[in-house]
Amino acid sequence: MRQDHPGHMPKIIGHRGACGHAPENTLVSIAHAAELGAQAVEFDATITQDGVAIVLHDYDVDRCSDGSGPVALKTFDEIKRLDAGSWFDKRFAGARIPTLHDALKLVADKGLRLNLELKPTLGWEEPTARIIAKVVQDVWPLDLPLLVSSMSPQALDTFHDRLPGVALGLITCAIPQNWHLRMRQHHCVALHCHHDFVTHDLVQEVHATGARLHVYTVNDDAKAKALFAMGVDAVFTDFPDRLAHHHDI
């Protein structure tokens, strides 16, 4: 597998850090993925009401903190007070929702590859991607590889306008019939989809276009083995330790 492909990722990508072991999308989750031997992580980024880029999957803070309400209605000052660890396990009490700035620094310090997912609140695609691109430009060493992905074409386009040199991935669940056209339209070099929709033919077709196929979320070793046998390039997993041995296969 060519490692100089712009969308290249190691075969095992820690999902939201190592979210099977630690509260998702926190610094401790990212650090834990590295400790478990992950060579790459994925996390999700969005913005607060006052335009601070933070690492969070949902449009609200209810599931992953002791707060409630939409992130787009909270200032960063409110966000930084929330406990983002206790919901997962009392051992993680006091973990915070990180800024994108701090998460990027940690990933670079740990020497991990990164897939950064743009996760805008619906309606805030443009400011979310614009602000995230600014933080990436300020913090990420742009000579290091980076794959930015999103389900939102508008977020991808805005990011591409700001940082055209960064590789992009289009996230889908089922595979749209016009996936290749959509990837071309939005400058994507990787397709990310749910494992239920992967077929041998799809892998061949994606590779024939020169793109990579990355598949979420795979926590079962037999499933990972079957996907790699079909030629899938990388899988996202909540438990990077379970699948780490596939790096060597």
Q: Please give the residue ranges that form the binding site for ligand G3P (CB under 6 A).
A: 15, 42, 44, 57, 117, 149, 171, 192, 216, 236
In the complex with ligand G3P, which residue's Cβ is closer, 21 or 192? Answer: 192
Q: How far apart are CA 29 and CA 23, in angstroms?
A: 6
| Residues 70-109, mask of contacts with Mg ion (x by CB under 5 A) | ----------------------------------------
Find tokens 């020497």 and name the residue: 111
Minimum CB distance to ligand G3P, residue 149 (Å) = 6
In the complex with Mg ion, which residue's Cβ is closer, 4 or 116? Answer: 116
In the complex with ligand G3P, which residue's Cβ is closer, 149 or 158? Answer: 149
> Do 39 and 113 form a contact (C-beta atoms < 8 A)?
yes
In the complex with ligand G3P, which residue's Cβ is closer, 43 or 140? Answer: 43
Does position 117 interact with Mg ion (CB under 5 A)? The reply is: yes
Query: Strand, helix or coil at 228?
Result: helix
Q: Which helix (H) or strand (E) holds 76?
A: helix 76-79
Report how far apart, in Å, the C-alpha atoms of 212 and of each of 11, 24, 105, 181 are: 11, 25, 26, 15
Q: Enter the DSSP assignment of 65.
A: S
Q: Indicate which of ligand G3P, Mg ion, none lies near residue 192 (CB less than 5 to 8 Å, by partner kind).
A: ligand G3P
225 burial level (CB within 10 Å; 0-12, 13-18, 19+): middle
Which residue of this chain has its Cβ atom nearest to ligand G3P in the complex?
Answer: 216
The footprint of Mg ion (CB under 5 A) covers 44, 117
